[in-house]
Structure 1
Amino acid sequence: MKLSRFRIERLNPLIKMKSFLLAFVLLALASSLASAFDPSPLQDFCVAVDDPLHGVFVNGKFCKDPKLAKADDFSFSVKKPGNTNNAVGSNVSAVNVQQIPGLNTLGISAVRIDYAPYGQNAPHTHPRATEILVVLEGTLLVGFVTSNPNNTLISKVLNKGDVFVFPIGLVHFQFNIGKTNAVAFAGLSSQNPGVITIANAVFGSDPAIDPGFLAKAFQLDKKVVKDLQNKFWMDSN
């Protein structure tokens, strides 16, 4: 049975509208899938400002003309061991966008970590990066703690050639359990991963956090908290 011309003319706008809606939905889905999550920030925070004249340039650096790029923009040396003569017995030599300008916008960086015998890279987090660590020399006890509510310790002893991953944002550590020096290299999934050393942040903040509050939070005597706050909190990172 053939449709009358009148009915066809009435249906055409509906068909066009349905086609438009379908195309719109598909476009929205594609856009949603393409931006499933925000890109990692390269700073601790970014306060929005309506006046661009008083704003600052963040999440990267200004770029030079590609024609002026040279090999030195993409290289750096960490051949020399870091100084481990400190309270924690370790030293982290960063290789990020500050050392290699060519890393800008590439979302990756690295570190060399030197450990004296029984030295440690104290519990810390990288708020903007996952870390993959390779042991070059020595024996390390490494681990990370999962988030609340379980706070499960995932830990392993690593030897030369072993690799371990620390997921983004989780508290992790390394401890040289050997009698000789140890060396490791790590890659991080940000040109500026950031680091928060737990003890330094809690007990070494400036200005200091109220000791009564910390005493209750950590179930410690207030005098113990004040003693901890009076220490010099050395950061090897």
Structure 2
Amino acid sequence: MAPYILALTLLALVSSQAIASDPSPLQDFCVRDKNSPIFVNGFVCKDPNLATPEDFFLPGLDKPGNTMNKVGSSVTLVTAAQLPGLNTLGISLARIDFGPNGLNPPHTHPRATEILTVVEGTLCVGFVTSNPDNKLFAKVLNKGDVFVFPQGLIHFQFNPAMSNAIALAGLSSQNPGVITIANAVFGAKPPISDEVLAKAFQLDKSTVDWLQAQFWVNN
């Protein structure tokens, strides 16, 4: 009996790994019902007979985002929240604009791998592996170059030039999520104890208090 139970346990573990991403759709499409009051893991589908081409269309990604902020970058997301026809399809898109020396700060996507291509300009990009190695994989990208950031790992993009840069990113979730590290740590509401942060980052409390008082840009 013990080997049988062990086999079932291993099968359950393998199965849990196999579904550790957006679930596959069971129909051609599931357009987000903007008017549904029901809360589910994703969005409720509207009647497919009421779907229109507009549900699968979003204009305006040719327009640059506003990079006049502290980090000098802007991310324009296209997820199921903006494009109803993306619901259940397991993908999303982002346009990232960089001003001169603009930075998309270190962040993670808890639910998606990201693949990025440079449309204009040059970017320095990289990601850091998990503990204990924390190895940095970094590369300078030029127009047309592609780089991939594995799911959940901290990564960044930086424009080293005095001209603008543009990138497009595909993400393997209809709602990839984003955790900007500095924002989450120093901009938490209510704030994380300065004693905790001072010890974690080996800083004095006055420095932590100053960091917590800053305005953190949500990209």
Range of TM-score over shorter length:
0.7 to 0.9
Identity fraction in percent: 64
Structure 2 residue aligned with 1:72: 54
Give the deviation of 1:36 after TM superposition.
Answer: 4.2
1:191-230 alignment to 2 at 5 Å? 191-230=174-213
Q: Take 1:64 and 1:149, find their aligned partners in 2: how far apart are those partners?
A: 46
Structure 1 residue aligned with 2:27: none
Whose helix proportion is higher, 1 or 2? 1
SS of equivalent to 1:40: coil
Structure 2 residue aligned with 1:37: 18
Ranges in structure 2 where 5+ consecutive residues have no aligned partner:
1-6, 24-37
Say yes or no: does 1:150 pair with 2:104: no
Determine if contact 2:195/2:205 at 8 Å carries over to the other structure.
Answer: yes
Give the deviation of 1:94 after TM superposition.
Answer: 0.4
Give the deviation of 1:57 after TM superposition.
Answer: 2.6
Cα distance change on mapping 1:223 and 1:97 into 2, 3 Å: same
Structure 2 residue aligned with 1:45: none
The amino acid that maps onto 2:51 is: A
SS of equivalent to 2:147: strand
The amino acid that maps onto 2:44 is: F
1:1-237 alignment to 2 at 5 Å? 36-40=17-21, 57-77=39-59, 78-235=61-218, 237=219
The amino acid that maps onto 1:217 is: A
TM-score by length of 1: 0.79
Q: Take 1:214 and 1:27, find their aligned partners in 2: how far apart are those partners?
A: 43
TM-score by length of 2: 0.85
Ranges in structure 1 where 5+ consecutive residues have no aligned partner:
1-25, 43-55
SS of equivalent to 1:114: strand
Bigger Rg over Cα: 1
SS of equivalent to 2:153: coil
Determine if contact 1:109/1:190 at 8 Å carries over to the other structure.
Answer: yes
SS of equivalent to 2:18: coil
* Superposition RMSD in Å: 2.4
Determine if contact 2:22/2:90 at 8 Å carries over to the other structure.
Answer: no
The amino acid that maps onto 1:92 is: V
